Structure 1
Amino acid sequence: MSLKQDLDHHQQQHSDHSSDHFPPTAGSPWLRAPPPPPAAMHHHGVEGEKGEGEGEGAQPRLRERHRASDHQPDGSPASDSTEIRPSPHMPFKATLDSQASLLRIEESLSPASLDSVVVVERDFKGEKYASASPIDSPDCVEADQMMQGAIECDGNFGGTPYVPIYVMLPTGIINNYCQLVDPEALRQELRNLKVLHVDGVAVNCWWGIVEGWSPQKYQWSGYRDMFNVIREFHLKLQVVLAFHEHGGNGSGDMPISLPKWVLEIGKDNQDIFFTDREGRRNTECLSWGIDKERVLKGRTGIEVYFDFMRSFRMEFSDLFEEGLISAVEIGLGASGELKYPSFPERLGWRYPGVGEFQCYDRYLQQNLRRAAKLRGHAFWARGPDNAGYYNSRPRETGFFCDRGDYDSYYGRFFLRWYSQTLIDHANQVLSLANLAFEGTQLVVKIPSVYWWYKTCSHAAELTAGFHNPTNQDGYSLVFDMLKKHSVTIKYVFSGPQASSLENDDALADQEGLTWQVLNSAWDRGLNVAGQSVLHCHDREACIKVLETAKPRNDPDHHHLTFFAYQPPSLVSVQGDTFLPELDNFIRCMHGENSDYIEA
């Protein structure tokens, strides 16, 4: 039987199972970093090799994938099967063969799908999403080279697009009894910010404070006092509705827990919290498994979030009508970001561990069993048993290593279910947020999980809920859903603090992930904002943020909608040298002539 006949026969035999396939990966390239000026080329990191054709009739060369840290102990070259993603901010060319040899049809194909065939095809199509080590080509250059070249070509940011600046106010301004702690200190802080010509401030409204003591008993008095002070200075206001806990990890910040009445429920029913494979509970936020379960004093998780949002909208209707509140950010997960709490420091995680899947509470396990049954494989109703622990490296696990189980039939099923649960949670909450805040700009925070980005599996992203391995764009389905709700995504530029050596060991690529996320969102017409904790004396970091906020030579003239700056402490207590540095940074963001680069 010919290959085509065999495929047709197999497809006809199992067509009944096609309906439960996930949508195919979007195919629009997000590779759009600004072109570099002519410069001497240099390469660093793990170098790739080019496969040469043999003989006169050799087929066109395929760009071989490159391996990361999973080298053999003796330092010998990797086998052809070991993969690493090339950097997404680097242009490259790949010649693709459509020969039948690329589609390996084995007798061991899953009886439920032809996923193996689809994935092999998608693996080559996914080269446009590939990211890893530099390719030895004169057309390839690292993102930091492109940025540096652009900086050298232009000494300042005069005439660049205006990017509004919002400064995030510290958490301790409001205490756990929802009281404004020091109004005069707040006024002094706002005076300094006004002198710096910031556009506005961002404030966290904590669920654990406002509804802290009794269900549906909302205490907004401290926030009312704060907003009245902000109104005196004619600054715009962005509000962050924070449905997670804060502090308590030795950070020195005031600890803010989930509401006390929720924690009381959790004593009797610990399955309302995310749970790892060992059964350890994470109280940072509620499990998405209870979004539709009436376990919170007769309300579902979604109803609790909606009631809180509706109470805020009614309490501050006058500020919405005045236009003082310009945007509302909806907290959707750990740290207020759209992610699972997969790398909690309180449970022992340390950078650059892969983290752990957080799907072992009773409710998410029930959801997984339903999905496996619908898929036709009830025995898939389990989490991976070889995914390691919080501080494992990908090569140490059977699931995340090269050619690991993450890309098996079961692995693809589990990871799609895991990421779809994240998408479904965000979709449900944002649907109700649009009802509560009709006409107000909604913001969703996207995390920067950049360690192990240069490996095939992208293990840290997988445990956080983003199915972004080397052969597909794991952010496309998320952004398609966010586009439906017309939200602005706020990308967090900062991540765990690590040295360059630690990042090299972790095969990290923060800039590569940044360009993937930004361009994937811009390709879908989404507004993109940024957030970072910056020390303004670190000029190199500030310049990189500026170059990312408004990339030069972008033919589509993309730039951030706004930038949220999170100072390490109150601006008014950081000394005389800090304010001029921050002023220069703000001027550059505003597109004014500034001597920031030459200072």
Structure 2
Amino acid sequence: MTRRVFSADPNLIRPTARVILRVVEEDAVACEDPVDFTVAEMWEHTASRRQRARAQSLNLGAKSESAKVMDGNETREASTEGGIRGRKDSGWTGDGDGDGNEDRDRNGDGDGMGWGGLGVVNVNNVFEDPEGLKKQLLQLKEAGVDGVMVDVWWGIIELKGPKQYDWGAYRSLFKLVQECGLKLQAIMSFHQCGGNVGDIVNIPIPKWVLEIGDSDPDIFYTNRSDFIESGLIIDIEVGLGPAGELRFPSYPQSQGWEFPGIGEFQCYDKYLKAEFKAAAAKAGHAEWELPDDAGSYNDVPESTEFFKSNGTYLTEKGKFFLTWYSNKLLIHGDQILEEATKAFQGCNVTIAIKVSGIHWWYKSESHAAELTAGYYNLQDRDGYRPIARMLTRHHAILNFTCLEMRDSEQSSDAKSAPQELVQQVLSGGWREKIEVAGENALPRYDAAAYNQMILNARPNGVNKNGPPKLSMYGITYLRLSDELLQKSNFAIFKKFVLKMHADQDYVEDPNQYNHVIIPLKPSGPKIPLEEILEATKPIPPFPWDSETDMKVDG
């Protein structure tokens, strides 16, 4: 008999979270082979090799293993970073979002859980230690985890040349996951792995793409000082930037960035310079140039002319630049998602994108670290709800991070406010009527972190008479490791999974999570940029309870 918290009608009280994943189950896909078809088709929709190279150039960061947890509304996504990530000893870790915190992951609400593999298939396209992985997957299954997340790396699949795909190792991995009775979430990772905070595995993009970059280095986004190939944005895939996130590579650890540096704008290559000059001239200011007073990676806001109090960012020129810069990100994400929906259309999957949880300097006037990443977010301007509005036409999920973090745990020097940031971003998604998902930023095994994640998954608690008023789509837990599987840590983790399921046993039927998996629809009509930017008008976030009603230590 299913264990329930209340004695009410079971049709009203549903599990509050379920792990997503499904992309590779052949019997569940409504289109052709879900592996060869979707990726090959996605590449067919990209215009040229240069475009592919640009896709990496924004360096869509690296991700890792993840365990998914979902909340009363099953979770499914086609692009998310973490979860119970893989084992440290075999390279199954990774952060990829470089938030200034050693590791992170996202994925929304929380009912089940999933895992995602970074180095499970190594750079030589070999599936490492399947027996060891099987043992861990069975432990996750026994704990009530719904599924796992796996990075599918471009640098491995299409290593030998354009359209020369080798899926052998991944097929073996997917089959093992299926045999263990878990769902699968595939992350199509068109970025390199390495160079982001927490990355311990190096998986470059294909050599043939880098050779294109050698002949025309300006296809890669660059910072002002070094024109470094930090990683470039291009409309190809659900991975939209560094660490797979929709952002500019403004704070690459590989270039010396350290937390809580403000980062640097990434628009000084000749192509974006020309685009900005053209836009400025059209606006009647041909004399305007890109900012030269925004400091460097590890500066603080007040040490720069651009971000200091009453700085350049508040001038007409500064506002014009920041609008142009952030709009490039919105347009990029919109274009990529349109191509992704073409590739996956008809398949029983849900597409998601990742948005970075840049919580440092959130309490400063200029929100400098967010601005350099492309999130034009100020007290009088919402930088996240426009992203959510853009996602509405693609039926996509917004996946966020740092769900476990509390303001009281942060250094006052960085003016961090992860709780307010999470509240703002999730509220923006809900106001735009889209699903939101998330993940923890750092591996944590304590009750306080788990309780904070559950609170964010259901800000107003469990509803005795139906679905929660506010509820995330799912949560990815970071990460699968020997430390997590230690007896005491795993015991509290299992309580966390149970509370994410609202004290209900695992339910295999996704319909019981109010999340019916249907074939992916094509993108809707394009939304005019002016209409998207109407969402920059700030609206107070939804209220959060002070603590969760489903504590792991309650």
- Decide: shared fold, TM above 0.5: yes
Letter in 2 for 1:181: E
Aligned residue runs from structure 1 range 255-294, under 5 A: 255-283=202-230, 285=231, 287-288=232-233, 291=234
Does residue 1:174 correspond to 2:121, yes or no? yes
Relative contact order higher in (CA < 8 Å, ≥ 6 apart): 2
Alignment counterpart, residue 361 of structure 2, candidates 452, 471, 478: 452
Q: 1:443 to 1:162 in 2, by over 3 A?
A: closer
Deviates more, 1:240-249 or 1:403-412: 240-249
Structure with greater helix percent = 1
> Which structure is larger by alpha-carbon Rg, 1 or 2?
1
Q: 1:554 to 1:446 in 2, by over 3 A?
A: farther
Q: 1:568 to 1:232 in 2, by over 3 A?
A: closer
RMSD: 2.5
What is the Cα deviation at residue 282 of structure 1? Answer: 3.1
Give SS of 1:274's match. coil
Letter in 1 for 2:340: A
What is the Cα deviation at residue 443 of structure 1? Answer: 0.7
Alignment counterpart, residue 415 of structure 1, candidates 316, 319, 322: 322
Give SS of 1:467's match. coil
Give SS of 1:171's match. coil
Does residue 1:211 correspond to 2:158, yes or no? yes
Alignment counterpart, residue 546 of structure 1, candidates 450, 454, 457: 454
Confirm or deny: 8 A CA contact 1:534 1:542 kept in the other structure: no
Alignment counterpart, residue 419 of structure 2, candidates 511, 524, 541: 511
Confirm or deny: 8 A CA contact 2:242 2:249 kept in the other structure: yes
The residue number in structure 2 matching 1:334 is 242
The residue number in structure 2 matching 1:473 is 382
* Cα deviation 1:212-246 (Å, max 9, x = unaligned): 23122122111111111111122111111112111
The residue number in structure 2 matching 1:397 is 304
Q: 1:190 to 1:347 in 2, by over 3 A?
A: same
Letter in 1 for 2:335: Q
Alignment counterpart, residue 476 of structure 2, candidates 564, 572, 575: 564
Q: Take 2:381 and 2:263, find their aligned partners in 1: how far apart are those partners?
A: 21
Q: 1:249 to 1:539 in 2, by over 3 A?
A: same
Letter in 2 for 1:345: Q
Letter in 2 for 1:203: V
The residue number in structure 1 matching 2:264 is 356
- The count of corresponding residues between Structure 1 and Structure 2 is 397
The residue number in structure 1 matching 2:25 is none
The residue number in structure 2 matching 1:118 is none
Q: 1:568 to 1:183 in 2, by over 3 A?
A: closer
* Cα deviation 1:275-313 (Å, max 9, x = unaligned): 111023134x3x23xx4xxxxxxxxxx4xx36xxxxxxx
* Cα deviation 1:514-534 (Å, max 9, x = unaligned): 100000110010101111255
The residue number in structure 2 matching 1:598 is 553
Q: 1:476 to 1:494 in 2, by over 3 A?
A: closer
What is the Cα deviation at residue 579 of structure 1? Answer: 1.8
The residue number in structure 2 matching 1:580 is 491
What is the Cα deviation at residue 252 of structure 1? Answer: 6.6
Letter in 2 for 1:417: W
Letter in 2 for 1:582: F
Q: Take 1:537 and 1:502, find their aligned partners in 2: how far apart are those partners?
A: 18
Q: Take 1:540 and 1:577, find their aligned partners in 2: how far apart are those partners?
A: 15
Confirm or deny: 8 A CA contact 2:265 2:372 kept in the other structure: yes
What is the Cα deviation at residue 385 of structure 1? Answer: 1.1
The residue number in structure 1 matching 2:200 is 253
Q: 1:250 to 1:407 in 2, by over 3 A?
A: closer
Q: Take 1:250 and 1:441, find their aligned partners in 2: how far apart are those partners?
A: 28
Q: Take 2:190 and 2:165, find their aligned partners in 1: how far apart are those partners?
A: 14
What is the Cα deviation at residue 476 of structure 1? Answer: 2.2
Q: 1:554 to 1:368 in 2, by over 3 A?
A: farther
Confirm or deny: 8 A CA contact 1:534 1:566 kept in the other structure: yes
Q: Take 2:126 and 2:265, find their aligned partners in 1: how far apart are those partners?
A: 38
TM-score, normalised to structure 1's length?
A: 0.63
Letter in 1 for 2:261: G
Confirm or deny: 8 A CA contact 1:448 1:494 kept in the other structure: no
Alignment counterpart, residue 241 of structure 1, candidates 180, 184, 188: 188
Letter in 2 for 1:583: K
Unaligned 5+ segments in structure 1 are 1-160, 292-301, 307-329
Identity over the aligned pairs, expressed in percent?
37
Q: Take 1:553 and 1:192, find their aligned partners in 2: how far apart are those partners?
A: 28
Q: 1:270 to 1:338 in 2, by over 3 A?
A: same
* Cα deviation 1:406-455 (Å, max 9, x = unaligned): 01111011001100000111111100111111142101111101111112
Does residue 1:441 correspond to 2:350, yes or no? yes
Q: Take 1:533 and 1:459, find their aligned partners in 2: how far apart are those partners?
A: 20
* Cα deviation 1:139-188 (Å, max 9, x = unaligned): xxxxxxxxxxxxxxxxxxxxxx9833232233111011222112212211
What is the Cα deviation at residue 575 of structure 1? Answer: 2.1
Give SS of 1:582's match. helix
Q: Take 1:196 and 1:348, find their aligned partners in 2: how far apart are those partners?
A: 40
Confirm or deny: 8 A CA contact 1:341 1:358 kept in the other structure: yes
Q: Take 1:526 and 1:199, find their aligned partners in 2: how far apart are those partners?
A: 22
Q: Take 2:116 and 2:384, find their aligned partners in 1: how far apart are those partners?
A: 30
Q: 1:418 to 1:249 in 2, by over 3 A?
A: closer
Q: 1:245 to 1:505 in 2, by over 3 A?
A: same
Confirm or deny: 8 A CA contact 2:241 2:249 kept in the other structure: yes
Confirm or deny: 8 A CA contact 1:331 1:337 kept in the other structure: yes
Unaligned 5+ segments in structure 2 are 1-107, 505-548
